[in-house]
Amino acid sequence: MDKSYIPKPIDIAHIELPVELVELSEFLACNVHDTWAQGRMREGWTYAPVLDREKKEHPCLVPYEALPESEKEYDRMTAMSTLKAIIAYGFVIEKA
């Protein structure tokens, strides 16, 4: 491990998402999950109620709506952080 690595995420603490982007973040969270699940399935992972890395079984290989709230929240935070980073870089997100 490189001990000189120091993570430097973009400061997004001051960014407030407009309500329409909060709504968008839920769609993005679902897409984040679906992209993750598709990748795992391509690698040979299947659903099982308990995680087993050796057998490539994972309890989160279910539709987004069926995820536990804690897993949905992780995907939501990923989506919201991405939207906030885009705004922090000076971009404007508008619906066409």
Tens digits of residue pLDDT in 64-86: 999 999 999 999 999 999 999 99
Cβ-based burial of 43 (10 A; exposed 0-12, middle 13-18, buried ≥19): exposed
Provide the residue ranges of all domains of the chain, joining segments of one domain with +.
Answer: 26-88
Distance CA 88, CA 82 (A): 10
Instruction: Encode burial over 56-80: b for 16+ CB neighbours within 10 A, e otherwise.
Output: eebebbeebeebeeebbebbbebbb
CATH 1.25.40.10 fits 26-88, yes or no: no
pLDDT tens digits along 12-24:
999 999 999 999 9
Q: What pLDDT score was predicted for residue 53?
A: 98
Q: What pLDDT score was predicted for residue 79?
A: 96
